[in-house]
Every structure is written in C-alpha cells, then in structure tokens.
C-alpha cells in the first residue's frame, strides 16, 4: 500500500474522532481523560501511520491504538471501567419506557461484557474487528456478546 498522506490521515481521523471520543468516554467516564486518550491515540497513530497496511481498516487500527491508550491510563490511574454515556445508546430503536431498563441492565454488566457490547452495538464493529481491538480470539468476542445478551435479557425481565 502507498503511504497515507497527512491530508488523508486528517480526513480519516475526522471521520472517526466522535466515535473514538464516545468510546473513550464510555470506558473512562471523565471528559478530560477521554479527550486525553483520544489525543494521545491520534498522535501515536500519526507517528506510526506508515504501519497501516490497508486504508479500509483505518478505523479498526486507530481504535486498537485507542484501546491500548485507555488500558495504559486505567493501569496508571487504577480506575475501574464504567458504562457508556446515556447518549451513546440508540434510542430510536427502543421505547422511552424500556430505555431506562436497558440502561440499568447495561450498567450492571461486567466490564468485559460492556466493552464488547459498546463496540458491537454502538460502534458497529464486526466480531473480527473487536477481537483485533481488544486482543482476544473472535470466538471469545462472540461468546461474550452472547453472554451479555443473556445477562441483559435476564436483567430486563426482572
């Protein structure tokens, strides 16, 4: 692949920056931390843009970098992962009444399940892309999604 130009890099970042921020905020739960994580990920991606092999995988590639930055921040600050911001949920597909129930259920998921739910349902990544981002086998991602769906179903039915 030809090297990605600075202008192309800026265009790609602009296209996924909001999603990056939403993801970082969902995991870090602090605006400043989320902004720092996104900024650091963008800088790291720019420094290593020559390593990007396929342009169509830019979003997965930069999200993987962001995930590594977030992991490092959490280790450094010894913080717990938390759930996504309410605005991240797609309210257009669920009724207002069920929204609160779903949100409460998502809040009660373990971090490893919340992470795959966010990436799959809210960021529209494939299970293969999620496996690359969080560095677990694709089967593990599918298993976590299935377990998360079952947990959400049982929590909502209570």
Q: Give the Cα separation of 38 and 27 in Å (integer).
A: 12
What CATH number should be reported for the domain whose range is 85-158? 1.10.10.10
Q: Give the Cα separation of 109 and 150 in Å (integer).
A: 11
Q: Give the Cα separation of 158 and 155 in Å (integer).
A: 6
Determine the topology of domain 1-82 in CATH: Rna Polymerase Sigma Factor; Chain: A (1.10.1740)
Mean pLDDT of 96-104: 61
What are the start and end residues of each CATH 1.10.1740.10 domain in the chain?
A: 1-82
Question: What's the pLDDT band for 3 if we cut at 50, 70, 90?
Answer: confident
Q: What is the per-residue pLDDT for 99?
A: 59
Axis-axis angle for helices 58-77, 31-47 (nearest 10): 130
Q: How far is CA 105 from CA 42, 108, 113, 147, 158, in A?
A: 32, 5, 12, 13, 10
pLDDT higher than threshold 90 for residue 65: yes
What are the start and end residues of each CATH 1.10.10.10 domain in the chain?
A: 85-158
Q: Which two tokens stand for residue 87?
A: 């605005």
Angle 19-98-23 (CA atoms, 0-180°, nearest 5)?
15
């Amino acid at each position: 692949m030809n090297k990605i130009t600075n202008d192309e890099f800026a265009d790609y970042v602009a296209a996924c920056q909001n999603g990056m921020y939403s993801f970082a905020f969902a995991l870090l739960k602090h605006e400043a931390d989320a902004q720092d994580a996104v900024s650091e990920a963008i800088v790291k991606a720019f420094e290593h843009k020559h390593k990007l092999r396929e342009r169509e995988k830019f979003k997965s590639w930069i999200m993987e970098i962001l995930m590594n930055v977030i992991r490092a921040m959490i280790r450094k600050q010894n913080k717990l992962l938390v759930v996504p911001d309410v605005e991240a949920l797609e309210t257009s597909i669920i009724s207002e009444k069920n929204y609160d129930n779903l949100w409460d259920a998502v809040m009660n998921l373990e971090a490893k399940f919340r992470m795959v739910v966010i990436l799959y349902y809210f960021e529209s990544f494939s299970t293969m892309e999620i496996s690359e981002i969080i560095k677990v086998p694709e089967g593990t991602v599918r298993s976590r999604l299935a377990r998360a769906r079952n947990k959400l179903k049982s929590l909502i039915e209570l």
